[in-house]
Structure 1
């Protein structure tokens, strides 16, 4: 605590028992505000993250001490003295309070204190300390516990164990705290050290898995994420319990950490603390997620002053990722060393059975300067790479073939030897062969490339790779940096070859049909290499950058040509099925024209799948898989049949007509079937399932029947049919009604008011002005519609809009206001606050369609508003595709002039 803070407290916080609670609260508010401003100034002046966190802790210490002073004289005395100690726990206990951190306090007393004296003490402490802290707006967690109770709580879960491990006396009876320390640290923890270490390692494993086992998230969690503050703190806790040390400095003489490793470890931790302090200073509520929209502001506040917005973010985030990598790497190293090291108190006893088992695992095999022991590879000597630098590549090939991994010493040796991989060495035929061998071992590539990237070898083989390392992708749907996203796509390709999950089955079958199945590995590795030059047009620049890389690695001209096509067009297939009407023959023909042959189509089919699944969890679903597979199947058939496709479609039209004429359709006459086929365009029958055509016939028949059986108003009621598509996890809503101006947007509005999300829509009108509109919808949570209440609400809203001609806009706006904060106005959708809506209108020559594309933050009734605007501008909508990712809507409309 600084002398200035102490002096300020003496002036502002001198209380006695006669002071009112209001006076104390007002004085505390002024003290906190002034001290907070001072700490903020020190932070802005560049003071280290740790010093700022300790300063904040010191301020809270003073505050609690001064609030306790008038309480102390009111406590029972003599034999009833509760001998209470006010103890800081967790981050507050280790004096690392960031500006909005929780403050955890334990009111500790000896186990023999009970009865009225204890109750009186608890009431005084609650009323005169806790209530004031809460009224100050501080987030305070508290507990009242005896020494025995505290230790019993520690037995229940690891969080309490760790919080108590960092217990620190703030004020109160020191002997009570010392008795607790003796009982907890010296007795309980020593007896349970091995159990604690095992629990901490398991906790680390689960926590890291939650964040994808990577530091390279675009929006990292500074505290709990991989390579975050918690990784550093975990090593401190393990070392304290295992070895009884109070500081990581004490690990150096024990040969568990070098001075350089500790210096880098501490420096990285300080950087993350400084980032967290800034995040808290710039936020209204506690958060540890470094959201995309906050990164520019935080970067500028921390001194990254590049005028270019993107460059500023990239420099800041590269520093963040490097520090997180240092913490992750060093913490894993220490975890391993601490787990293997015997306890200082000798509690780790090794049995004879364990010795025998260890010796069996120690059976060795020597190859190429390395030694295989069990499932770990080590080097025969420290000069193994100096003797032959290409071993820095071959070592990963050995691990790939043997199913092993390098041990800790070999990992460090690899990392410290990468400078040996000079451009001359990596361009040798032997080095290229070794790397290509790694890429061609289908189903086992990801782990090798991930390790090569982590240890700095990959960027020595492909220097261009360094430019996308730690690169934040300014696209709303990406969760990972460009390098990690790329590696995740390769993990997906491994799964295509090996995973028994049915989702991979179709892709496995098609990639095995390709001429060169393993070519997708280098293609995926380089597919986003162009992002180093910017997101826009990165596919084209990536193809240009990749070609000389593949040439250097020894790929022949034919394979490079295929790779060039795949990288240049790696976004094309998804663009087609996300935006265009797959039932339109022009869509298939246009895409087939781009692809050219079945082999490229198969590669692109699998590439698009791996690219999407490697982008973010949840981005791929059964609906998208169906769209993707439909485009693939249609295009494959087109490429196989060539010019005969149109003849095949004409035959199918006739076969469909004959099938419908031969069916028993009840009251529906042959003339009605003939009329249906003559009143609709031919493509409707080619790409609509026969059963669905029969459904539409029945619905049209029912609509026409209402003219005879009901009054004029009754004949205006639309005919509605709900069908669940369990394979795609959606519901198909067919509506048949008389065509009229604004029909599409009114139906879309009614669906929105019923609480449904629209995925796609198709509009078809017979020449006798009967409209057949089909919507693919999902209930909230993206599932089939099972609620009759929702269906009734839709019917009610449709009747109101179509028959009563009621404007649904006010109701939609009211619903949007009620749901905005709950659904969209939170930090899970940060782009909603910064994304500028975009509208593109163009004529797609290959499809012979006029298309409107809209990108905008999603909101209830967005499709209603867009389609209403299109209608009022004098256009009809014939097709709509609706796509929403992380709160951002990307909608496509086919339009035609009205009338």
Structure 2
């Protein structure tokens, strides 16, 4: 623990006491004196904390900062106490009952305090409370509260402390770290002695189990992964509280007073204890800076503050990583170190009198039984390994020195036989990582075993995560080591790159084993057929993000890495080419499905030209599903699944040569005939008239079920002689609700609908716009589903359609309503994205494709579509995709004559005006950020 230099006071205590004496001497009353002393203490505390903040900024020593603030608090409380007993409530000859001890407990008792943390105090009494003692305690507490400090307190007799410690584990833990601030030293020593003899003695197992249960519950609340991109610096897995838990258990079980003693006891090596101290110091530096920045006890390292903390800690951008990404990578490496230290610590625990308890399994939330429920209570030998309670353990510590390949072989065995790991074995692996060298990496058996682990039909994610946790995975494959703990500073990715990759492998394994057939019917079907090259698919997925953090596009750089690594793992030239292609194109299908018009033949032809073969298409769709699913909770939606399936089924005939055999005219006539036949219950003349109202694009793009719904709505409009009607259809599997609007065609229709959806809280994900021959618009809007129950979602859809009708009829005014709605949504300040506007006439045979991307915000689609209307452009379809904080909106448009936008001047004006609309800047004041031709 960092020590405070003797010449490093945050304030002059002697001078403060003299000022208090002067205030007391000249004050006319106690109230006046208290008020003036309080003002002085507030000023002293504020100035001292500012000095601590400045020292933290210059020195970047977190533990020292926390110790300074704790020491500052000690001295202020002592000054208040002395003022109370000497000036306010003096007693010449205090009785035995009027003695007390003020004790710091909890984190404050440890002598470490963050700027916004609670000050936990225990006022310890020998007997019952006296009026004098009650007055002193009350005076101290109110002074601290009035200073703006958060104080947790208890006043208890010694007997009460012992009794409650036996009953309440929280109280027991707080007293474990008790530290005398002032008062009766003998009383405090009695507390320590009785606590050890009456509470701690013989209860080590109970305490350990309680602390590990608390830890499990805390991790569950915070999210089980230590690689969440907005971690809680105190409570998340790998945070400060995990280190505290280790020290609590160590202090309770080994009866040590400092971490240094754990080295003497052999629990940690000297280097491991240095990692403990460095990790603790880093976490304290982050936490103290967080509290200073936010001016409150904020422990969540959110996007809004990550960049500021990175700057305060001195991180700078380097070779493909921003300053904040380098900072967060350091954080996640420290969190990983905390996990390593936990395993090492638990190995030592199992070697003592709690050896019958599988501590490591308990800590990691595992069971000492296999996944198939098999348990081997007897010890058995497997070569140089033992199996003890279904956990692998080494016979001697030279096993890996004799044969470094055994570092890989033990994980292969654990996967094949469903074994867990003894903590001693994991500790030994961690300490033998230096054996992983070029010779081992080129070893044919080691690489074969690793590939079998990666492609295991059992649980590859679990074994790979174990390898990653001990540091072996990144050492064996250095390219993967570069992305371990790497964070991407955006709201789209929920995990670090390595954690995302491992989750993707787990999802692919679930798909292959048929665990989610209803959610992913296409992927399940393709994998069940058994025709896909499993090794190619798993290895490509393992490599798909391996080049993140480099200056070059990670897909292109990743393909180069794949070409380098594949021969090492025994892949043929053709397999290497296929893996490299999958890595290079791993985003192509997702981007095409989400941001292109899948009913446009040019989209399908272009995509088929990239894919080129049906085998590639099958592999790519499965890889894409696993990749999106692995991003984080809530990222995958049924709508995205539907888009991917549509793109797959539309592309498949192209790759098999089917579409070239049927002309567009014949397909239009076939669609007319199909719709005509489906309206069999209509009079024949009405059927002919209705089918004739639709242009070919509508007949080709819309499925029959939707056509029949539209027919019913339009027929109702005609019979009731209305000019406006709406309807909706719930799409539970896709996770969307489809809203249909029939109204007189005009260029502002989609803008009006988008504004109404904004006001009603409907998130548009796709839109198709069609016009009938008699001038009516038939718009289909897909919005994200929000409510699980169909009845609730139906009521929500009714509210949205009612608002759309009110807006189109002029009963609801836009854009005023949109402005009011947008004003209630706080924009994120953490990200600054460049607005990009692209016009492309090669992506469609009939339309100009406008793509705009940048920082997402409320009301964006309304502003963009309104601007397109102002530019006299007809929108044929709109495709809205959001990737965290980044919005990518794509519009297929023509001019009012139905032609593409071809003139350079007109294109320039569109780019300028769309940039202004995206940025929400009035045209006269707008300064375009970037325009891409």
TM-score w.r.t. the length of structure 1 is 0.87
CA offsets per residue over residues 113-167 of structure 1, 9 Å max, x none?
4xxx56x8657644x4434433433233334455565566656664443233223
Residue in 2 aligned with 1:488? 503
In the alignment, the residues of structure 1 paired with residue 570 and residue 463 of structure 2 have an alpha-carbon distance, to the nearest angstrom, of 20
Which among 7, 10, 17 is matched to residue 10 of structure 1? 17
Alignment of 1:246-395 (within 5 A): 246-292=257-303, 294-304=305-315, 310=321, 312-338=323-349, 341-342=352-353, 361-367=377-383, 369-395=384-410
Which among 880, 888, 891 is matched to residue 889 of structure 2? 891
Structure 1 residue 564 displacement after superposition: 1.6
CA offsets per residue over residues 193-219 of structure 1, 9 Å max, x none?
322211211222343455555544433
Residue in 1 aligned with 2:253? 242
Q: Relative to structure 1, is the Cα distance of residues 787 and 313 closer, same or farther in structure 2, using a 3 angstrom cutoff?
A: closer
Residue in 1 aligned with 2:103? 87
Structure 1 residue 554 displacement after superposition: 1.7
Structure 1 residue 25 displacement after superposition: 2.2
In the alignment, the residues of structure 2 paired with residue 64 and residue 421 of structure 1 have an alpha-carbon distance, to the nearest angstrom, of 54
**Contact conserved, 2:726 with 2:739, CA < 8 A, in 1?**
yes
Structure 1 residue 774 displacement after superposition: 1.4
CA offsets per residue over residues 455-500 of structure 1, 9 Å max, x none?
3433443332232233222443112222222222112222223363
Which among 37, 50, 55 is matched to residue 68 of structure 2? 55
**Contact conserved, 2:404 with 2:435, CA < 8 A, in 1?**
yes
Structure 1 residue 13 displacement after superposition: 4.7
Residue in 2 aligned with 1:768? 774
Residue in 2 aligned with 1:452? 467
Alignment of 1:45-194 (within 5 A): 45-46=58-59, 48-72=61-85, 73-74=88-89, 83-109=99-125, 112-113=128-129, 125-126=137-138, 128-147=139-158, 154=165, 158-174=169-185, 177-190=188-201, 192-194=203-205
Residue in 2 aligned with 1:875? 873
In the alignment, the residues of structure 1 paired with residue 854 and residue 323 of structure 2 have an alpha-carbon distance, to the nearest angstrom, of 26
Residue in 2 aligned with 1:677? 691
**Contact conserved, 1:321 with 1:470, CA < 8 A, in 2?**
yes
Q: Relative to structure 1, is the Cα distance of residues 171 and 19 closer, same or farther in structure 2, using a 3 angstrom cutoff?
A: farther
CA offsets per residue over residues 586-642 of structure 1, 9 Å max, x none?
433332232222221121111111111222222112222222223223333443462
Structure 1 residue 877 displacement after superposition: 1.6
Residue in 2 aligned with 1:530? 547
Which among 572, 576, 579 is matched to residue 556 of structure 1? 572
Structure 1 residue 740 displacement after superposition: 2.2
Indicate the larger mover: 205-214 or 133-142.
205-214
In the alignment, the residues of structure 2 paired with residue 123 and residue 549 of structure 1 have an alpha-carbon distance, to the nearest angstrom, of 74
Which among 618, 629, 634 is matched to residue 602 of structure 1? 618
CA offsets per residue over residues 678-708 of structure 1, 9 Å max, x none?
232334234433332222122222223343x
**Contact conserved, 1:660 with 1:690, CA < 8 A, in 2?**
no
**Contact conserved, 1:473 with 1:482, CA < 8 A, in 2?**
yes
Q: Relative to structure 1, is the Cα distance of residues 593 and 461 closer, same or farther in structure 2, using a 3 angstrom cutoff?
A: same
Alignment of 1:646-657 (within 5 A): 646=662, 650=666, 654=670, 657=673
Residue in 1 aligned with 2:493? 478
Q: Relative to structure 1, is the Cα distance of residues 290 and 662 closer, same or farther in structure 2, using a 3 angstrom cutoff?
A: closer
In the alignment, the residues of structure 1 paired with residue 394 and residue 679 of structure 2 have an alpha-carbon distance, to the nearest angstrom, of 76
SS of 1:478 mapped into structure 2: coil
In the alignment, the residues of structure 1 paired with residue 686 and residue 874 of structure 2 have an alpha-carbon distance, to the nearest angstrom, of 26
**Contact conserved, 1:220 with 1:290, CA < 8 A, in 2?**
yes
Structure 1 residue 329 displacement after superposition: 0.8
CA offsets per residue over residues 374-399 of structure 1, 9 Å max, x none?
42223343333333332332232222
What number of residue pairs does the alignment pair up? 863
Q: Relative to structure 1, is the Cα distance of residues 847 and 405 closer, same or farther in structure 2, using a 3 angstrom cutoff?
A: farther
**Contact conserved, 1:190 with 1:241, CA < 8 A, in 2?**
no
Structure 1 residue 540 displacement after superposition: 1.5
Q: Does 1:862 align with 2:877?
A: no
SS of 1:310 mapped into structure 2: coil
In the alignment, the residues of structure 2 paired with residue 147 and residue 653 of structure 1 have an alpha-carbon distance, to the nearest angstrom, of 93
Residue in 1 aligned with 2:633? 617
In the alignment, the residues of structure 2 paired with residue 262 and residue 319 of structure 1 have an alpha-carbon distance, to the nearest angstrom, of 18
**Contact conserved, 1:109 with 1:145, CA < 8 A, in 2?**
yes
Residue in 1 aligned with 2:902? none
Residue in 2 aligned with 1:809? 815
Q: Relative to structure 1, is the Cα distance of residues 82 and 275 closer, same or farther in structure 2, using a 3 angstrom cutoff?
A: same
**Contact conserved, 1:725 with 1:732, CA < 8 A, in 2?**
yes
CA offsets per residue over residues 268-297 of structure 1, 9 Å max, x none?
212221232223333333322333454443
Q: Does 1:195 align with 2:206?
A: yes
Residue in 1 aligned with 2:743? 737
Structure 1 residue 573 displacement after superposition: 1.0
SS of 1:533 mapped into structure 2: coil
**Contact conserved, 2:325 with 2:488, CA < 8 A, in 1?**
no
SS of 2:862 mapped into structure 1: helix
Structure 1 residue 52 displacement after superposition: 1.5
Residue in 2 aligned with 1:843? 841
**Contact conserved, 2:545 with 2:554, CA < 8 A, in 1?**
yes
Indicate the larger mover: 843-852 or 547-556.
843-852
Q: Relative to structure 1, is the Cα distance of residues 43 and 700 closer, same or farther in structure 2, using a 3 angstrom cutoff?
A: same
Gaps of 5+ in 2: 25-29, 360-367, 369-374, 898-933
CA offsets per residue over residues 340-384 of structure 1, 9 Å max, x none?
52279xxx9xxxxx9xxxx973421222x3333342223343333
SS of 1:529 mapped into structure 2: coil
**Contact conserved, 2:600 with 2:844, CA < 8 A, in 1?**
no
Residue in 2 aligned with 1:351? none
In the alignment, the residues of structure 1 paired with residue 337 and residue 678 of structure 2 have an alpha-carbon distance, to the nearest angstrom, of 73
**Contact conserved, 2:487 with 2:496, CA < 8 A, in 1?**
yes
CA offsets per residue over residues 565-600 of structure 1, 9 Å max, x none?
211110011101211233334433332232222221
Alignment of 1:402-413 (within 5 A): 402-413=417-428
Structure 1 residue 527 displacement after superposition: 1.1
Which among 583, 593, 612 is matched to residue 577 of structure 1? 593
In the alignment, the residues of structure 1 paired with residue 412 and residue 576 of structure 2 have an alpha-carbon distance, to the nearest angstrom, of 23
Residue in 1 aligned with 2:726? 720
Gaps of 5+ in 1: 349-353, 708-714
Structure 1 residue 885 displacement after superposition: 4.5
**Contact conserved, 1:875 with 1:897, CA < 8 A, in 2?**
yes
In the alignment, the residues of structure 2 paired with residue 75 and residue 850 of structure 1 have an alpha-carbon distance, to the nearest angstrom, of 87
In the alignment, the residues of structure 1 paired with residue 500 and residue 703 of structure 2 have an alpha-carbon distance, to the nearest angstrom, of 38
Indicate the larger mover: 437-446 or 68-77.
68-77
In the alignment, the residues of structure 1 paired with residue 746 and residue 811 of structure 2 have an alpha-carbon distance, to the nearest angstrom, of 11
Q: Does 1:427 align with 2:442?
A: yes
SS of 1:230 mapped into structure 2: helix
Q: Relative to structure 1, is the Cα distance of residues 741 and 206 closer, same or farther in structure 2, using a 3 angstrom cutoff?
A: same
In the alignment, the residues of structure 2 paired with residue 898 and residue 483 of structure 1 have an alpha-carbon distance, to the nearest angstrom, of 50
In the alignment, the residues of structure 2 paired with residue 205 and residue 186 of structure 1 have an alpha-carbon distance, to the nearest angstrom, of 29
Q: Relative to structure 1, is the Cα distance of residues 840 and 155 closer, same or farther in structure 2, using a 3 angstrom cutoff?
A: farther
Structure 1 residue 867 displacement after superposition: 0.8
Q: Relative to structure 1, is the Cα distance of residues 663 and 474 closer, same or farther in structure 2, using a 3 angstrom cutoff?
A: same
Q: Relative to structure 1, is the Cα distance of residues 336 and 431 closer, same or farther in structure 2, using a 3 angstrom cutoff?
A: closer
Structure 1 residue 232 displacement after superposition: 1.3
In the alignment, the residues of structure 2 paired with residue 756 and residue 395 of structure 1 have an alpha-carbon distance, to the nearest angstrom, of 52
In the alignment, the residues of structure 2 paired with residue 165 and residue 44 of structure 1 have an alpha-carbon distance, to the nearest angstrom, of 32
Which among 394, 398, 409 is matched to residue 413 of structure 2? 398
Q: Relative to structure 1, is the Cα distance of residues 107 and 584 closer, same or farther in structure 2, using a 3 angstrom cutoff?
A: farther
CA offsets per residue over residues 307-354 of structure 1, 9 Å max, x none?
88935445444443333322221123213432552279xxx9xxxxx9
**Contact conserved, 2:532 with 2:619, CA < 8 A, in 1?**
no
